[in-house]
Amino acid sequence: MRRFAARINAERQQALGIGRYIWRSRDDARVREAHEAHDDRVFDWEDPPQGGHPGEAWGCRCHAEPLIEDPGDWQPLSGLALRRLTIAAELDGMGAAAGDFAAGIVEGISELPARAAWLTRYFRLRVEEALGTLDRREAAELADKRAQIDTRIDAIGDFLRHAPDIAAALADYARAVERRPALITPEYEAGRATEAQLAEAYRERAYLETTLILNLAPGAALTRLLRRRGRRGDTADPDPLRDDLLDEAARARRLPADVDWPVIANPGIVWGRGIADQGDPWEDALAAMGQLGERLPPGFKTFDFHDAATRTATSAKTLDTGLKTYLSDPRQVFHRLKHYIDTMARFSRSNRRRYPLESDEIDHRRLELAVPVDSLPEQFTQIQRAIDYAAERDMIVEVTLIDG
């Protein structure tokens, strides 16, 4: 009877999205030594301690107390803190563009002081605008400088007059980048974009504007803009150049929650039915793809695959974002993924004698995450936060959306 009650407790907690519990033992002489050692410790439902979860062993009177974790006080910045973030991002974008320009100066040295002064004044006006302290004369001056940037875009278009489709694509890209901060800011304030995504929107706009003003040669400006995005930017190859510009314009117009993660048909995952019904089909699907190396034996802690050739260890996880915990507070999505990432970072050695694996045999740690395709935009934002958190720790999170 106790084992049945323990199983019901485990399934109810997991159905609510509670991923960890506190082991509670009876404080009497009958408690087992091993269970007494577990008392008051935190365990993961997906990673049972030796001997199983509370109540699973014969005659065990221990129970699992749900751990309701505080997701932290993450809230979008507002007011002066938000302005500081965007101003710092614009400064970063201006500095990056100026540095790229300085590294490739070949002409127009005499015009540099005037252009630098123009940029300094322009940015000062932008800061005043963000702070809401522009007077009427300064507002008119800022509008005039923005018109000059539009003129620079038109000048590059004239340079590409032999290829009007490329010129049109460039104008489309530039307008999209100019408007992106206004697109992203309300999304961020609503919890549907991360600080990193907001900062990048302001950074990219500042880089664009600075590059357009500093670069005297239109072709050089175009090349720098695209190469910063990881594109070739080869003005001698018109078709790929046009396609790159159109792709970047589409990206700049896309909302952060409109994620471009791969979508696959459901490989057999049964959402809401516990770890085995969710996790095993996902591991099977990843194993069938054959790209993650050797599948580790059942019960192996933390990781599910190891590729000795690339020294990559991969953890396969599913997250049912339809659970009440994640719907009522999307921040719990980040908290759960952060736990997975931290667990990967702490891995030191194998718990299986027949498959020894040491931390120094792993150069790359990877999380393969599967979530429902109809997850909420706010949940996608929290997943992106986890991706950024992992990247800061030299780990990779790959997300696959499950359709069905």
Res. 363 pLDDT band, cuts 50 70 90: very high
| Sheet with 395-403, side-by-side order of all strands | 263-265, 395-403, 364-372, 312-318, 305-307, 294-295
Res. 109 pLDDT band, cuts 50 70 90: very low
Residue 317 phi/psi, 5-degree rounding, is -135, 150
Res. 392 pLDDT band, cuts 50 70 90: very high
Quote the mean pLDDT of the chain: 86
Res. 111 pLDDT band, cuts 50 70 90: low
Mean pLDDT of 107-132: 72
Domain ranges for the chain: 2-66, 79-253, 263-403
Res. 108 pLDDT band, cuts 50 70 90: very low
pLDDT in tens, 170-211: 889 999 999 999 999 999 999 999 999 999 999 999 998 888
- pLDDT on residue 215: 66
pLDDT in tens, 67-84: 876 666 678 888 888 988
For domain 263-403, the CATH class is alpha beta
Across the strands, what pairs with 47?
44
- pLDDT on residue 128: 83
Mean pLDDT of 140-157: 83
Q: pTM value?
A: 0.75
- pLDDT on residue 326: 92
